[in-house]
Amino acid sequence: MNLDRIVAAWAAAWNGTDPTALGTLFTPNATYTDQGIGVTMTGRDQISGWKARTDAGIEDVQVTVNHASHCGDRITVEGVYAGHIKGAPTPFAVPLATLLDLENGEIARDQDFYSLNAVFAQSGLPADWTPSAG
């Protein structure tokens, strides 16, 4: 397993502007769970779609990796998730922990953990904020 290559590609896909770059890192039936908001995407298309929706609602999405380690086929990533929710007064930068489970060198399961309350608080939004339609 090339830990550095997998983690670098995952972070680069989040930091880039091509949503399909994220999806291609995953197995065909992979799951991606955003524990902050409690949603799970399944498969490359849904995962790519998640990146596209994130970029549509958050400007300057940035994932910074501070540390990564692995045990068997699991990679643990510690870092910072940052961006600026469109329409929010200020940007946010919150701690992020991600678990990546691998199968044959591809990501089979991704779980992202961060505090949505911290994102809203740093962004200057109320805790019950939801994006407006349109």
Cα–Cα dist 76/60, whole Å = 24
Domains of the chain: 3-123 (3.10.450.50)
Phi, psi of 72 (to 5 degrees): 65, -125
Closest by alpha carbon to 67, among 78, 59, 81? 78
- Bridge partners (DSSP) listed for residue 61: none
Per-residue pLDDT of the chain (134 residues; tens, 9 = 90+): 577 899 999 999 999 999 999 999 999 999 999 999 999 999 999 999 999 999 999 999 999 999 999 999 999 999 999 999 999 999 999 999 999 999 998 999 999 999 999 999 999 999 888 876 54
pTM (predicted TM-score): 0.92
